[in-house]
Amino acid sequence: MKKLVFVALLIIAGFNCFGQDVTQTFNSTRIINSHSTEILRKKMWEYRIEHRFGDIAGANGGGQTAFGFDQAADIRMAMEYGITDKLMAGLGRCKGIGRPYRSLCDLFLAGRFLTQNKEKRVPVSAALVQTLYYTYMKQVEDLQSVAYFDNKLSRRVAYSTQLVLTRKFSDRLSLALMPTYIHRNYVSLSDLNDLFSVGFAVNLKVRKSMGIILEYFANVESENFRSDALNSLGVGFEFVTNGHNFHINLTNARGFGELQYVALTQENWLKGQFRLGFSISRNFKIKKS
Amino acid sequence: MNKFLLALCVIFIVVLYSFNSGESEWRKVSNSDAENVTLENVRLALGAEKSSFYMESFDPEKAKIGLELILKGKTKRGLFKSKAISSYFVCTDCHNIGREFKNSSDQNPSRRLDFAEENNLPFLPASTFWGIYNRTSFYNDDYIKKYGDIIKDAKQSLPGSIQVCAKYCSSGRYLKSWELEAIMHYFKANELKSKDLSLTNNQKDAISRIQLLDENEKADLLASINSAFTHGYSAHFAETMPRDDRKYGAGGDVVTGKFIYDKACLHCHLDGRVTFLKLDSDKLSAQMFLKYKSTYDDLSVYQIIRQGTYAMPGRNQYMPRFTKDKMSDQQIEDLMAYLTQLAEK
């Protein structure tokens, strides 16, 4: 029986070869802030260091802060792992933008359930990303603040669910659509617990090792609430080397994770409130012997 | 369409399963039928000496485990999976397990490519496992330059070579004795038979009446049989082609080049299967190679094919070099011709 299963698997694997899956729609597991449909290979580890500096211009930017280099809006360090070729998990810790959260941890599971394939007539790749956020910051004493947790664990928790649809149109051009749903257990009176946003991204590969990325998230919300909130817009330059992936980007979002860059962005590009950010990732396998 | 594929799948399973009738099938091979008699038995009957790793027979169960180790690097032992031999490679990333030449004593790279094209085989930098049990010399010629004394004890010994390959070539570990034994049983099970050799009818006839031959006839037959198979594959390292000698694909065969790209390069690099360098049959990959074509950089195919890379901490998946005997300079030009065409797609 085992033999039969083995042979059947071989044959199924053989059938897969008939239609070649589209690969490298995006070069990294992230677009700028958002996830992409790329998943780490099985048993591959990735260590990520991501950074967002302070405002380049505007009231808090300019020469006084060395165009934002003096400040760190957010820093994320994370370890991510490919469970299978189509499923990955990650655990990260952000500094947090402090409005309201600091010390924000995230745990996510990302799975690609569709892979673009011409022969099989699958037009897009699709992945689902489920993230859990938890802040372990010391609660503030101000009863009005969102960071007054009243010693309840549930108030420290938020969730996001993101569907990422990508399509590689040519060797150079890829597009992505990212409908995103965020639920925060505890928000202020003027805010909403549930938030829906639609992201859109373009990746233009100039060379094999270099690309330009544009990413925009449009929040779908009522005007009566969240009057301070703005949409996040990012432009990025991507450099790919052997085992490394470098992103240098400009974005108005201060923080990492859907919870922060979609729900908590209040900066305005037109006021100079955009910042330089970068992410470096290093892939490696842990040697077992 | 899906139903059709499912039906085809079931038919395939039935057909393949009917071939795989287990133990009895292995045993049949050792019948003293002149076609199926093993090369080793013929040579021993003709007075040849036993090799240092001579095995009288093989255990089909162990051979099966050996094949699994070769294909996957690990197997199931009791309730648990055994530890992978290497976290980075399996044997078949660099070695084919089947025949690579029409003529069993051939080593010519262009005929190897012809055979690979005819049979849609990967075109790999290391020698095939087919007939490895019958070889007497390993890590030949220039490999001493790369590995030094590491291969001192492996050059004449198949088990020694397997260990060096497991530990150093695959950035893994030494095999446990049961693993080594299983792989040796697989190699023994797939040793050359007289039918695998390109023998004349006279030679075949002589084998069928081997007991009746006199000493002189035996010596002659042994000499002719010895020249009919490969005792050790040549391995001559080539220097990177000097810039002035490079033709950048001019006059190269694009179809051959495409085959080399698909079956040699993409065998490991397709979407970074084995390595971090992700390649695809896309314009951008080709343009990247063309940008570096006149350099001595790792991204120049002239350089990387001839020199490979070395394993280092944090990047143990290195690229082995193609020796002159595994890929000719003309084949590199064919590859360049294809890459040039791909870049202009």
Shortest CA distance from A10: residue in chain B: B13
**How far is residue A179 from each of residues A39, A118, A165, A176, A218, measured CA to CA in Å?**
18, 24, 9, 10, 9
Tell how far CA A176 is from the center of its chain: 13
**Residues in chain A closer than 8 A to B280 (CB atoms):** 23-24
Show the 3-state SS of chain B. Answer: CHHHHHHHHHHHHHHHHHHCCCHHHHHHHCCCCCCCCEHHHHHHHCCCCCCCCCCCCCCHHHHHHHHHHHHHCCCEECCEECCCCCCCCCHHHCCCCCCCCCCCCCCCHHHHHHHHHHHCCCCCCCCCCCCHHHCCCCCCCCHHHHHHHHHCCCCCCHHHHHHHHHHHHCCCCCCCHHHHHHHHHHHHHCCCEHHHCCCCHHHHHHHHCHHHCCHHHHHHHHHHHHCCCCCCCCCCCCCCCCHHHCCCCCCCCHHHHHHHHHHHHHHHHECCCCCCCCECCCHHHHHHHHHCCCCCCCCCHHHHHHHCCCCECCECCCCCCCCCCCCCHHHHHHHHHHHHHHHCC
CB A26 within 8 A of CB A124: no
- On the question of pLDDT at B27 being above 80, the answer is no
Task: Enumerate the residues of chain B whose CB falls inside 8 A of the CB of residue A288.
Answer: 83-84, 87
- Neighbour-count burial of B6, counting CB atoms closer than 10 A to its CB (0-12 exposed, 13-18 middle, 19+ buried): exposed
pLDDT at B29 over 50: no
B21/chain A closest Cα distance in angstroms: 11
Provide the chain B residues 274-293 that lie in CB contact (below 8 A) with chain A: 276-278, 280, 282-285, 287-288, 291
- Give A3's contacts in chain B (Cβ within 8 Å): 17, 20
pLDDT in tens, A105-134: 999 999 999 999 989 999 999 999 999 999
* pLDDT confidence band for B2 (50 / 70 / 90): low
Higher pLDDT, B3 or B68: B68
| Res. B20: pLDDT tops 90 | no
Q: What structural domains does chain A harbor?
A: 2-284 (2.40.160.40)
Question: What count of residues does chain B have?
Answer: 345
From chain A, the residues in CB contact with B272 under 8 A are 41
Q: Which A residues 202-221 touch B at CB under 8 Å? A: 205, 207-209
CA distance A38 to A23: 8
The pTM of the full predicted model, rounded to 2 decimals, is 0.82
d(CA B117, CA B111): 10
Q: Are A56 and A9 in contact (CB under 8 A)?
A: no
From chain B, the residues in CB contact with A284 under 8 A are: 314-315
- Do you know the residue count of chain A? 289
Evaluate whether B241 touches B312 at the Cβ level (below 8 Å).
Answer: no
- B204: buried, middle or exposed (CB in 10 Å: 19+, 13-18, 0-12)? middle
Residues 6+ away with beta carbon under 8 Å from B278 = A23, A24, B269, B271, B272
Whether B266 contacts chain A with CB within 8 A = no
Cis peptide before B159 (omega within 30 of 0): no
Show the tokens assigned to B15: 């057909």
Test A242 with B5 for CB contact under 8 angstroms.
Answer: no
For position B14, what pLDDT does the model report?
55
* pLDDT confidence of residue B1: 54
The mean pLDDT value for B324-339 works out to: 97
Among A49, A30, A22, A21, residue whose Cα is nearest residue A201: A30
Please indicate whether, in this complex, the C-beta atoms of A23 and B20 are within 8 angstroms of each other.
no
| Alpha carbon separation from B159 to A126, A206, B138, B232 (Å, rounded) | 47, 49, 10, 15
| Chain B residues with CB-CB distance to A205 below 8 A | 284
Disruptive mutation site among A7, A40, A168 for chain B (greatest number of B CBs within 10 Å): A7
Q: What pLDDT band is residue A11 in, cutting at 50, 70 and 90?
A: very low
Among B20-24, B49-53, B301-305, B306-310, the range scoring the smallest mean pLDDT is B20-24
DSSP letters spanning A209-258? TEEEEEEEEEEE--TTS-TT---EEEEEEEEEETTEEEEEEEES--SSSH
Question: Does the beta carbon of A285 lie under 8 angstroms from any beta carbon of chain B?
Answer: yes
To 10 degrees, the CA torsion angle through B11, B15, B16, B20? 140
Q: Which structure tokens are listed for B52?
A: 């240092």
pLDDT in tens, B72-131: 999 998 888 899 999 899 999 999 999 999 999 999 999 999 999 999 999 999 999 999
Task: List the single residue in A with minimal CA-CA distance to B342.
Answer: A171
Tell me whether residues B315 and A243 touch, CB distance under 8 A: yes
pLDDT in tens, B32-44: 467 788 999 999 9
pLDDT band at A193 (very low <50, low <70, confident <90, very high): very high
The phi and psi torsions of A11 (rounded to 5 degrees) equal -70, -40
A142-146 — which CB contacts under 8 Å span 24+ positions?
A144/A188, A145/A100, A145/A188, A146/A100, A146/A186, A146/A187, A146/A188, A146/A191
Question: Taking 80 as the threshold, does the pLDDT of residue B180 lie above it?
Answer: yes
Residue A35 DSSP symbol: B
Averaged pLDDT, B213-228: 92
Contact A46, A279 (CB under 8 A): no
User: Which residues does B270 contact at the CB level (< 8 Å), separation at least 6?
Assistant: A23, B279, B280
Residue B31: which pLDDT band, with cuts at 50, 70 and 90?
very low
Rounded-to-integer distance, Cα A39 and Cα A85, Å = 7
List the structure tokens of B195.
């039918």
Q: Which of A147, A228, A245 is nearest to A191 (CA)?
A: A228
Least confident span in A74-78, A144-148, B239-243: A144-148
C-alpha R_g of chain A? 20
Question: Quick one: average pLDDT of B168-188?
Answer: 96
Query: What phi and psi values does residue A108 have, to the nearest 5 degrees?
Result: -135, 160
Pairing state of beta strands A104-114 and A125-135?
A: antiparallel
- Distance between CA atoms of residues B206 and B216, nearest Å: 12
Chain B 20-39, residues with CB within 8 Å of chain A CB atoms: 20
Give the model's pLDDT for residue B35. Answer: 79
Taking the alpha carbons at both ends of chain A, their separation in whole angstroms is 32
Please give the pLDDT value at position A16.
Answer: 45
**CA distance linking residue A233 with residue A201, whole number of Å:** 10
Query: Band of the pLDDT at A223, cuts 50, 70, 90?
Result: confident
Give yes or no for a contact between A96 and A102, defined as CB atoms under 8 angstroms apart: yes
User: Is B22's pLDDT higher than 50?
Assistant: no
State the virtual CA torsion across A181, A187, A191, A194 in degrees, nearest 10: 20
Mean pLDDT score across all residues of chain B: 90
CA atoms in the 13 A half-sphere facing the CB of B280:
17
**CA–CA separation, B208 and B294 (whole Å):** 58
Task: Reply yes or no on whether the pLDDT at B19 is more than 70.
Answer: no
Is the CB of residue A88 less than 8 Å from the CB of residue A65? no
Cβ of B270 within 8 Å of Cβ of A23? The answer is: yes
The predicted structure's pLDDT at residue A3: 56
Distance CA B35, CA B197 (A): 10
CA dihedral A168, A173, A174, A175 (to 10 degrees): -120
Q: What is the mean pLDDT of residues A23-43?
A: 92
Q: Which two tokens stand for residue A141?
A: 């004493």
Task: Dump pLDDT digits (tens) for B278-297.
Answer: 899 999 999 999 999 999 99
B84 and chain A in contact, CB less than 8 A: yes
Q: Taking CB atoms and an 8 Å limit, are A288 and B315 in contact across chains?
A: no
Rg (CA), chain B: 22
B16, B173, B270 ranked by CB distance to A289: nearest? B173
Q: Among residues of chain B, what percentage have pLDDT more than 70?
A: 90
User: Which pLDDT does position A15 carry in this prediction?
Assistant: 41
